[in-house]
Chain A
Amino acid sequence: MTFDWSVLWTYRARLLDGLGVTVMLAVVTMTLAIPFGLLLAFLRLSGARVIRAPATVFVEVFRSTPLLLQVYWAFYVLPALLGVGFSAITTALIGLVCNVASFNSETFRAGIMSIRPGQTNAALALGMGRAQVMRHIVLPQAVRRVLPALATTWVSLFKDTSLVSTIAVGDLSYAALQIRSETYRVMEVLTGMAVLYWLLGYPQAKLVDWLHRKLKTAE
């Protein structure tokens, strides 16, 4: 069996374009999923059941179903439900943001709850308002504890963006699969795709391990 690896070089422009879309999807998703996840976390920590319950259902549904199915659902069902069509990339972002925001909300909730209640009580006793306590006392400490978990979610997200290729969003895996069907260089293109993802993902995985070691909390 002879392999012709030059196909990867010939199609480098399209692979790089795909790579750009992959990075863009991951960055935009995380940028939106952090505030959305924080909002969900606050809603779930609320004292009122009517506020807590819908947020809980949202988070648990998105955490307990496959992202791929969520993307299909957004692609086939949402337009019929709302009566408006979205582009494939918008659909992909809707699915990714809802999914990642749900995971982020659990991370934030755990981070906020990990700050001992004595700190909140002390701040309240000093005359601070609830919002002030959250902003000046709880959140600054929680951020440090939450960072490693957020980084883990980021690595998962970076890999999960490949799933939106199934609804024809032109990310790296979509570009590679297209090139494969045009050139029939199956082995070369698929291996090239795996290596590209590896080159990007491996340092990220290592960085996450380092963050976990660096920001380890002992109380």
Chain B
Amino acid sequence: MDFAPILLYWRFIAHALAMTLLITVLSIGFGGMVGVVVAIGRTYGGRLLDAVLGFYVDSMRAIPLLVILIWTYFAFPLMLGWNLSPVAAAVLGLSAHLGAYAAETVRAGLTSIRPGQMRAALALGMTRASAVRTIILPQAIIRMLPPIGSLLVFAVKDSGIASAIAVPELIRQSQVLSGITYHAFEVYTLAMGIYFLLCYPIARGVDAVYRRVAYLGAS
């Protein structure tokens, strides 16, 4: 095992890592927004909206992410009539996918707050929107922390699937680097190590935060 030839390419690897972080962070941002909006729509928006959004969520849970990304990059532009860059397609597909899972997490959090709290807030003269914002959400977010932790880890890992549509992120560039250097063992082992160092602290960190603040979500 000889990592020296690989480390000559540290800049190349750093760029790949930056791309992985970029598409991960963007998909977490957009996916998180989609998740909150869809969850609130499903919980408080009436039966029709619930059915429509539920169809979106369940479809995203039914189709492999690889298929979603390949479809978004190759087929979707044919429908639109204009081109999508690999990075844009990846962020779009990853966000749509993560958004569905985030929506389920947020919805479970919202519905876990006893309905009496909403009724009490309404009886005190608050509007539904301000009750959700100031009473329900703050408690729900605490309860959602553990599943959010695993969603964040999944977001990091799933960004690697964007390699299939040639986004120059960590897995894609590992393939390139292994082709250049013929050091497949070192390249892929290094990539495994980098992903582990990204994901493991996230999982443990969110757990640690949750343990400290769990009491805030108890009611």
A interface residues, Cβ below 8 angstroms from B: 1, 60-61, 63-70, 72-73, 76-77, 80-81, 155, 159-163, 165-166, 173, 177, 180, 186-187, 190-191, 193-194, 197-198, 200-202, 204-206
A66: chain B residues within 8 A (beta carbon): 157-158, 160-161, 171, 195
User: A-B pairs with CB below 8 Å: how many?
Assistant: 117
Majority SS of interface residues in chain B? helix
In the complex, the answer to whether B63 meets A198 with C-beta atoms within 8 Å is yes
Give the residues in chain A near B59, CB-CB below 8 Å: 198, 202
B residues contacting the other copy or chain, number (CB 8 A): 38
Check if B90 is an interface residue, CB within 8 A of chain A.
no
Task: Flag if A206 contacts B195 (CB, 8 Å).
Answer: no
Q: Does B175 contact A (CB under 8 A)?
A: yes
Q: Contacting B203 at CB < 8 Å: which of A61, A64, A187, A193?
A: A64
B residues sitting closer than 8 Å to A (CB atoms) are 58-59, 61-68, 70-71, 74-75, 78-79, 153, 157-158, 160-161, 163-164, 171, 174-175, 178, 184-185, 188-189, 191-192, 195-196, 199-200, 203
Question: Which residue in chain A gives the minimum CB-CB distance to B153?
Answer: A64
Bound-state Cα–Cα, A198 to B57, Å: 12
**Cβ 8 A contact of B157, one of A67, A76, A155, A194:** A67
The distance in angstroms between the C-alpha atoms of A202 and B200, with both chains bound, is 31
* CB<8 Å pairs between A and B, sample of 26: A60-B196, A60-B200, A61-B196, A64-B157, A66-B157, A66-B161, A67-B157, A68-B171, A69-B192, A72-B174, A77-B184, A77-B185, A81-B185, A159-B62, A159-B63, A180-B74, A186-B78, A190-B71, A191-B75, A197-B64, A197-B67, A201-B62, A202-B58, A202-B62, A205-B58, A205-B62
Specify which chain B residues have a CB less than 8 angstroms from the CB of A68 in the assembled complex.
Answer: 160-161, 163, 171
